[in-house]
Homo-oligomer: A and B are copies of this chain.
């Protein structure tokens, strides 16, 4: 946590910026880098971009809400690093988890 799920970003390209991106996000969130996970979901684009055309990245962030300022800086950092991968359009949606609905090893977080 936070969990970042990327669609439209090839894993090997994301790999090249993963380390500095997570380091920056850890500073923004004031937590350790070992809290983060980043995954590239395998999906086939059927509409919205040419197949194989990495013109559009969609990033879902699952986390516990940290407020507007942190969210803005988090989104700016993700956008900046993904843009470096020659992906000009980046959309990010944040999903705020409820603490009573999040379980680590069987125990709710709250």
Task: State the A residues within 8 Å of B (CB).
Answer: 1, 3, 5-7, 11, 14-15, 18-19, 22, 34, 36-49, 56, 58, 62, 68, 71-72, 75-76, 79-80, 89-97, 100-106, 108
Contact = CB atoms under 8 A, between A and B. Distances in A.
Contact of A91 (B11, B38, B104): B104
A38 B46 CA distance: 5
When all copies of this chain in the complex are counted, the total is 3
Interface majority SS on A: helix, strand, loop or mixed?
strand
A41 B1 CA distance: 18
Contact of A93 (B11, B62, B80, B94): B62
Contacts of A72: 108
B40 A44 contact: yes
A40 to B, nearest CB: 5
Given A37-B49, A39-B46, A76-B106, 7 more contacts: A6-B46, A34-B48, A38-B47, A62-B93, A71-B100, A94-B102, A95-B101
Contacts of A11: 44, 46
